[in-house]
Structure formats: C-alpha cells, structure tokens
Amino acid sequence: MAPVPTMVVEIHVPLLPTPNLADGAYPFRWIEEVDDFLAGLEDEGDAEVFDDGEEDGDAYVFFVTGAGEDHLLTVASRVATLPGVPAGTFAVVSDDQAEEIGVGRRVTIPLPAA
C-alpha cells in the first residue's frame, strides 16, 4: 500500500535583495529572518519545517508542514508580512509526494484579515 501523502505548504518569496543595504552587506538577509521565524514556530510546536529552503528559479522557497491547511497558510501569510520580505510572496499547497516544487494549488498571501 502506498504511503498517505503529507501536506506541505511551499512559501515562494521573490529572490530580490533587501533595499537600501550598506555596501558589501548580504543582499538576502530576509532569508535568515524567515528561517529564524520558522525555527521559532517549530520550537513552539506551531508548525514543522519540512525541508531546508532552496532557490527555485527567481524565488526562494520555504517548506512547512505539521498542521492543517488553514493553519499552514496562516504561517505562510505571517512570513509574507515579515519586515524585509519582498512583495509578491505566494504559497503553494502541495504534498511530500510532489515530484517538483510549485506543483499544487497556488494561494495569494498575505491572506485577507478575517
């Protein structure tokens, strides 16, 4: 019997440098900020980091799992509103059986306030 797929929400952030950086500064500081934010949520048991983030075309993609779709999309929405995260961030609802990144239902984030 085939294993049951595990839901994964991909958070696609445009790979754009942080504006107004000092000369020589790391241009994608927001990657570290998002990693720290997601690690904090994982430590609190709020969500799990599914895999290390990675570049995919013109985006950097983070992966979260360990909760229901609504909750994971809320996590993605929170990532999209972190200081320094470039506009245009979106989520993809996928699973751990997907053969490539970006296959699934695309969701515009941040989510509208309830």
pTM of the predicted structure, to 2 decimals: 0.91
Give pLDDT tens digits for 85-108.
Answer: 999 999 999 999 999 999 999 999
* Segments making up each domain of the chain, as ranges: 26-108
Give pLDDT tens digits for 14-55.
Answer: 998 877 777 887 888 899 999 999 999 999 988 999 989 999
Find out whether 16 and 86 touch, Cβ atoms under 8 Å: yes
Burial (CB count within 10 angstroms: exposed 0-12, middle 13-18, buried 19+), residue 82: middle
- Rounded Cα distance between 104 and 46, Å, is 23
